[in-house]
Amino acid sequence: MVYQIKPYFYEKAKLFNVEIRPSTRKTKKIDLYKDKKYICSIGNINYYDYPTYIQNNGITYANERHKLYKIRHTKDRNVKIQVVILQIKYCGSKK
């Protein structure tokens, strides 16, 4: 089953100036590309994401899940985000 990428993620991709496509890996949702070069795959297909929670349970429930996720993953969340941003910047500067 191919994950249907929500408009929310296209908006976020614009902020980081990356392209997103459905993942070619069967356990992931989205592949990130910068200048047509693969960066990484994100989102486990077995877990809901923020837009899916909004769609299925409403904004209040989605915000609560989002808050709990941030609390649960504070340490590794910041490191992963920094690594992805560095990868994006590195790939962008290799011209």
How do residues 42-75 score in pLDDT, each as one tens digit?
Answer: 889 999 999 999 999 999 999 999 999 888 878 7
Q: Within 10 Å of residue 78's Cβ, how many Cβ atoms?
A: 11
pLDDT at 82: 64
pLDDT at 95: 44
pLDDT at 83: 66
pTM of the model: 0.71
Of 4-13, 17-26, 72-81, the least confident: 72-81
How high is the mean pLDDT of the chain? Answer: 84
